[in-house]
Amino acid sequence: MSAIHRICGAALFATLATGATAACAQATVVRYGQASSAARSIFSLPIVVAEREGLFQKEGLDFRVVIPIPGGSDKMIAALHDDTVDVTHVATTFLVRAALAGSDAVAIAAEFNNPIYSLVARPEIGKIADLKGKLVGMADPAGSIAISMRKLLALHGVREGDIRVKTIEGTPTRLNCLRRGECAAVPLGQPQDLVAQSEGYRVLGFSTEAVPEFLYTVTAARRSWAAANKDTVTRYVRALAASFRIIRDPQRRDAVVKAIVDTTGVSPAIAERTLALYFEPERKVLPRQGEIDLAGMAQVLAFMGEAGQLKAPLPAPERFVDLQYLRLAGVR
């Protein structure tokens, strides 16, 4: 589907503001798939900012968010194939699995490159090496969080056999393990790592130290649909690129903080600290303009190989991306 319909009002204002001459724009509907679990998380930030800033409207798009219920890993690519959505937000591991199973879905732009997971420990633990012999709460051993944490531990001389591991899914649950004293350390995402820090727990390191490049979530589309709607896809990518520029613009920090607060429900202080964690110094959490880092995709494939989800020889990262829309949108 790539329906055209008329929109006026706010879209008209945005169109006129950019100097376009149309009195009432012809907008192209784009249905964007989003997992319900991501809808109120930091991972929706690029889309939230693009919507709030009217960037899709400026590109002549009538952007609509579609959330499959129930959600789940297989639902996002499936939603592309059953014409529920035109493009979708998806974690790259699931895109790779779907593509290897025969889907023609490919990444057309990056949304989140390298999420930071902090290794947070009880206050009396001063450094990673002090974790030897202690219980560490970990995520799914085959997942990217656990793999990056094992690499971080190894970087500091702690091998897998040196610690006791308990698998605990979900950042809030792992934080509870830390709070009740059962776990000596756990990996936490934002904002719980910042909350834990404010409670006196100690951050021993970040996943990004051990895994500097990654490609966590992308916008994906079917090759066939994208090829038939090249202009629409290019305009979508251009709007997304503009959103990243705003997110990175220090002059627009207040607007971005407000977007995080309104979307996730965290306090403004936590939202500020989250952005500081991402950008001060630059930790490559977000792309600069939605560009796809093939080295990051290669790292995803390597992780999947390490977890036994892919067999050697690993496929080339180029197989899972289509860079032409980024190029057409002027993103290098």
Instruction: Give the binding site for another protein (CB under 8 A).
Output: 31, 34-41, 43-44, 47-48, 51, 62, 64-76, 79, 82, 84, 89-94, 112, 115, 169-173, 189, 192, 216-217, 262-265
139 within 8 A of 146, measured Cβ to Cβ: yes
Residue nearer to another protein on the CB measure, 69 or 101? 69
276 within 8 A of 234, measured Cβ to Cβ: no
The CB-of-82 to another protein minimum distance in angstroms stands at 8
Q: Counting Cβ atoms within 10 Å, is residue 67 exposed (0-12), middle (13-18) or buried (19+)?
A: middle
The CB-of-105 to another protein minimum distance in angstroms stands at 12
The CB-of-252 to another protein minimum distance in angstroms stands at 18
The CB-of-71 to another protein minimum distance in angstroms stands at 6
Strand pairing class (164-167; 135-138): parallel
Which helix (H) or strand (E) segment holds residue 165: the answer is: strand 164-167
Residue nearer to another protein on the CB measure, 44 or 131? 44
The CB-of-5 to another protein minimum distance in angstroms stands at 9
The CB-of-302 to another protein minimum distance in angstroms stands at 18
d(CA 198, CA 177) in angstroms, rounded, equals 17
Residue nearer to another protein on the CB measure, 69 or 312? 69
Strand pairing class (217-222; 87-91): antiparallel
Residue nearer to another protein on the CB measure, 170 or 330? 170
Place of tokens 């319909």: 5
The CB-of-165 to another protein minimum distance in angstroms stands at 20
33 within 8 A of 79, measured Cβ to Cβ: yes
d(CA 301, CA 297) in angstroms, rounded, equals 6
Alpha helices in 156-229 (DSSP H): 171-179, 192-198, 207-210, 223-228
DSSP per position, 224-243: HHHHHTHHHHHHHHHHHHHH
Residue nearer to another protein on the CB measure, 79 or 121? 79
Q: Measuring CA to CA, which residue among 297, 292, 233, 332 is closest to residue 95?
A: 297
C-alpha pair distances (Å), 172 with each of 40, 99, 177:
15, 32, 9
Structure tokens at 257: 């903080």
